[in-house]
Amino acid sequence: MCLSTVYMNSGDEQSEIMKDVAQIEAEGQGFWLINLFGEKKFIKGDIQTVDLVDGHLVMLSRNPD
């Protein structure tokens, strides 16, 4: 099983958004993050990096409004 941790990159700072993410669905200006337990969270932003080998992480960056 390959689960990821999603982080938000806000310039100098990276903050963890959700662990154990099993699915990411694009919608409008952001993404639905769905974890192993079916919990959902909507995050506005763009995908910056996806690393499925080293650390299983997804890095998002905020959309400029």
CA distance 60 to 57: 10
SS3 of 11-46: the string is CCEEEEEEEEEEEEEEECCEEEEEECCCCEEEEECE
Give the residue-averaged pLDDT of 22-44.
95
Predicted pLDDT of residue 60: 85
Give the residue-averaged pLDDT of 21-27.
95
Q: Has residue 43 got a pLDDT over 90?
A: yes
Predicted confidence band at 1 (pLDDT cuts at 50, 70, 90)? low
